[in-house]
Structure 1
C-alpha cells in the first residue's frame, strides 16, 4: 500500500533535572493512503506520544529524533509555518475528552466556523452553511439550533461529534483518533465508531485509531501495531493479530477480554504494571510480567523479527507462535479468546 505517513527510528527523550528519560525507543511504522491503522497498548506504552511527537505537539523539553515523512514532506523539526499548514488541513486529531478540547465560552458554531476560516478560507454565511452541513454529517440533529449551543449544553456523545465535525472542517487526508470513545457508554461508542468508518469510506482518508480496547480495534482497522514501554512489539494485519498473536503481551491483552459467547470464565489479568520509562528492566521490558520469559529475556533486548512484509514481532519466543495448532513442545501458548466480530461491548483494559 502506498504510504501516506512513514515514521522511522523515532525516539523521544524528556529532560528531567540533570537526566534524560527515553519515552520512545526507535518506533518504525507507516500508514497507507486510505488505510485504518490501530495502535494499542496499556497506558504508558507510548501510543499518544508517538503521534504528538510526529506532529510537533510535545513540549519544548522533549528531544525528538528520527524521521517523519508525510506525503513526501519531512515534518520532524520543520518550521512552525510548515506545521501550521499541515495541522488541521492535512492531518487532524480528535481526543478522548472533548470537554478539554472545546472552548466552553464559545458557541459550537463559532468554533467550527473558525476552523473553516483557518483551513479553507470560508467566511460569513458560507462558513455557517458549511458548519451546519458538518453537524448534519456527524449526526447531530437540529444542526441550525445546535450551532448556537455551548459545549456544556450538549451530551458527551454530541460533544464528541462536534469535535469530529471540527476535525473534518479542514478536509484532512489523515484523521488521528486518540481514544475517541473511552468516556462514552457502549451504545454511543458504537455510533461514534460507525460514524468514523462511514467518514473514512466516503472520503477515502487514512485513519489512526489509538485505543487500549482491543475489541474496538478489532472491528475498525486494517492493521494493528501493539506497543509496550515505548516500543512497537508486534505488527500485523488485524485478523492475523487476533487469530494468531505472536507476542506474549498481545496474547495477554486478548486473554483479558471477556468471551461474549459460550460459558462464562474468569478473566486472565496480566500480572504487574507497565514499567516507568526511567526504571526499565535491562532486557525485554515485558519479561517481568511474562510467563514465557527465560534468563536471556531478562538480560538482552530481543531483536525485531520480520515474518513477512506485513508482519513483525520483537520477541525471542516469536517462533513458538507461528503455528498455534502445533506449538513447540517447550512453549504452551496461553488460551486466547475469540473476539466477537459483532459487538462493541467488550472489557476496557485498565488505562
Structure 2
C-alpha cells in the first residue's frame, strides 16, 4: 500500500484577540491507501482539529504550519481552488451530529444531488439515479420515497446514513469519520460501522476513525494513534497497541475499560483532566496525571522512541516495566 496522505510537523495556533494559543504541537502521521487508522484520546486532545486543519476548515483565526501532502500535493497554504477540489472529492468528512450537518430546510435528495453536481458534474436524471444508488448502498429503506423527505422525517441513524451517502458522492480516496456513531444506540452503531468497513474494502478507500470508544477502534482499525494535549503520544498496529500499550496514558485509557471476561474489579480512572492549551505544564503534558512521572519528565518534552517495528511512543519510561506495573495495580 502506498502512502496517500502525510502530516508532518503540523501545528495550529488560534488567535483569540488577546493572545495566540497553540492547539497542535507538531503532529506527524501517515495514512496509506485502503488503510483504516484510529485516532483516540480524551476530549480536547486535538483529534478533530488535526483533520480540520489538514483540510483548511478552521477559519481565519487559525494559523496552520507544517505540511499536509495528499499524493504529493501540499494542502497547507494551498489556494482555495486547490482545497475546494480536494474537499469532498479526494477527502470527505462525516461528523458526529448529522442533525447539525444536514440542512433542515432542504430535502435529502437535493442535498445529495448538490454533492454529485459539485464533485462529479451529474445533474437531472443521472443525478437522481446516482442518489438512489447511494441511498440503497448505505441501507436506506424505500430510497425512492425518501428522496423528498426532510432530515427531521428520518431517524438519527438514517440521517447518519444520508451523511455517509453524501461523503461517498465524490468517490473519495480518504474518509474522515469524526465520532460517526456517538449519538446512536448500540445496534445502529454496529450497523453503521459495518457499513463503513464494507464501503472501505469495496472501494479501497482509506479511513481515519476519530473516536473515544477504544472497542470500536480495536474492531475497525488497522493502526491506532493516541493523542494527548495536541500531540500524538503513541502509535502502533491496533493488535499490538491493545496487547502491549507502552505509554502510561494509553495504559490509563485501557485500564478505565471494564473487562467482559475475568474477575470483577474496580475501574482505574485517570486522575485529573486534559490541561487547557494555555496551561500546559513544562515537559511532558501528561506528567501531572502520570503515576510514574519523575523529575526528568518535567525537564523537556520526551521524544518519540521506536520500540518495535511500527510502534513508537513519546515517553521516558516505556516498555515492559510500565506493563508490569500496570499488571500489579490490576492484581
CA contact (8 A) 1:178 1:210 kept: yes
Going from structure 1 to structure 2, the CA distance change for 1:112 and 1:46 (only over 3 Å counts) comes to: same
Secondary structure in 1 aligned to 2:279? coil
Q: Superposed, which structure 2 residues align to 1:322-337 within 5 Å?
A: 324=323, 327=324, 332-334=325-327
2:264 is equivalent to residue 264 of structure 1: yes
The offset of 1:307, in angstroms, is 2.2
Report the equivalent of 2:284: 284
Deviations 1:101-154 (A, max 9, x none): 000000000000111011001100110011011000001100001111100000
Q: 2:12 maps to what in 1?
A: 12
What is the aligned partner in structure 2 of residue 211 from structure 1?
A: 211
Partner of 1:160, secondary structure, is: helix
Q: How does 1:183-332 map to 2 (within 5 A)?
A: 183-321=183-321, 324=323, 327=324, 332=325
1:11: how far off? 0.5
What does residue 156 of structure 1 align with?
Answer: 156
- What SS does structure 1 have at the residue aligned with 2:326? coil
RMSD: 1.4
Report how far residue 258 of structure 1 moved.
1.1
Contact 1:244 1:321 in 2 (8 A): no
Q: After TM superposition, give the deviation of residue 13 of structure 1 in Å.
A: 0.6
Secondary structure, aligned partner of 1:318: coil
- Runs (4+) of structure 1 exceeding 4 A deviation are 334-337
Give distance in 2, aligned partners of 1:227 and 1:335. 26
TM-score under structure 2 length normalisation: 0.97
Structure 1 270/314 Cα, relative in aligned 2: closer, same or farther at 3 Å? Answer: same
> 1:202, 1:266 → 2: CA distance?
42
1:11 aligned counterpart, secondary structure? strand
Distance 1:308 1:266, change over 3 A: closer
Instruction: Tell whether 2:114 aligns with 1:114.
Output: yes
191-200 or 257-266, which moves further after superposition? 257-266
What is the alpha-carbon distance in structure 1 between the residues aligned to residue 79 and residue 321 of structure 2?
45
Greater share of residues in helix: 2
Cα distance, 1:88–1:22 mapped onto 2, change above 3 Å:
same
Measured against aligned partners, the alpha-carbon deviations of 1:300-344 in whole angstroms (never above 9, x if no partner) come to 21111122441110000114458x4xx4xxxx225699xxxxxxx
- Cα displacement (A) at 1:298: 2.4
Superimposed CA distance per residue, residues 235-263 of structure 1 (whole angstroms, 9 cap, x where no aligned partner): 00000110000000000000111112233
Please name the residue that 2:126 is paired with: 126
- Asked if 2 retains the 8 angstrom alpha-carbon contact of 1:176 and 1:207, the reply is yes
1:81 aligns with 2:81: yes
Distance 1:335 1:149, change over 3 A: farther
Measured in 2, the distance between the counterparts of 1:76 and 1:300 equals: 28
Q: Any stretches of 5+ residues in structure 2 without a counterpart?
A: none
